[in-house]
Amino acid sequence: MDRRVVTPDDLRRARAVLAETYEAEGAIPGSPVNHELIQLNLQHTDRVQRAAQAIAEGEGLDAALLELAAVLHDVAKLDHRDTTSGGIDTWHHHHRGASAARKIVLADLGKTGSVADSIAAMVERHSDIPFIRRYWQNVYAALLPSPRTPEEFALRDADVIDMLWVGGLGKIVFFRQIPGSDFYSEDGGDIQKAIASARTSFIEAAEVLVFPTARALAAPRMAAAEAFCAELTSVASRDEFGEAYHGFLKRLDASRL
């Protein structure tokens, strides 16, 4: 078998290794990583992989390589050293993940160094979106590594697409409502300010989409999120936001039956 070629078996093995990595994080004493968090992140990975496949097919890119990067793009996301975000390493996982992905591609999948380097570069550069970029500039006075190749841009597009829906907006709001975090202080704990900040991050992220296929995939998701935002003008607390969020998702699911 050509060690340069990514096969369906490689994708399945990489997905299994990802699940094993998350489970290992959850098994560490004192870890905030639980079963629900693991499942949420695995589901996110599966959606990003499907989006990556669609973008690759629509834009004539290397689908197998892009899908493998999608499977491994968040391999370091549950590294719970980032305790301020509840076990989700939003700020550093692209860097830690690049190293972890390279090892998996070499050791677990037996691929060449060139394949490992390509996957590592894609993982390293997938987080270059405005609100994460601002964090690195403010905290470290440093720039995030930006995509350079079509596949690197496509992975970022696929990841951003999954953010651009009701769940992505809700995740940002809940994240900004964690007491003691920089963003909680920035919003003063005010839920309406958190919603406004989340919507700004949401709109800015949509603007980085590069490929027409990605923009087409994102459009109906963004429309649903905007409809959700229109219902939040009277929300006065995190609990009320949670009720509105879950109620909207239930109605959205019912409308698809």
* Strand, helix or coil for residue 143: coil
pLDDT tens for residues 137-153? 988 899 999 999 999 99
pLDDT tens for residues 28-66? 888 889 999 899 899 999 999 999 999 999 999 999 999
Q: Report the alpha-carbon distance of residue 159 to residue 50 in Å, rounded.
A: 10
Asked if residues 144 and 131 have their Cβ atoms less than 8 Å apart, the reply is no
Q: Report the alpha-carbon distance of residue 188 to residue 179 in Å, rounded.
A: 10
Q: What is the DSSP code string of 141-169?
A: S-PPPPP-SHHHHHHHHHHHHHHSSHHHH
At the topology level, CATH places domain 1-146 in Hypothetical protein af1432 (1.10.3210)
Going along 172-240, which residue ranges are E strands?
Answer: none
pLDDT band, very low/low/confident/very high, at 91 (cuts 50, 70, 90): confident
pLDDT tens for residues 156-186? 999 999 999 998 899 889 888 888 777 788 8
Asked if residues 11 and 65 have their Cβ atoms less than 8 Å apart, the reply is no
Domain boundaries, the chain: 1-146, 164-257
Residues in the chain: 257
Residue 80 phi/psi, 5-degree rounding, is -85, 20
pLDDT tens for residues 235-247? 999 999 999 999 9
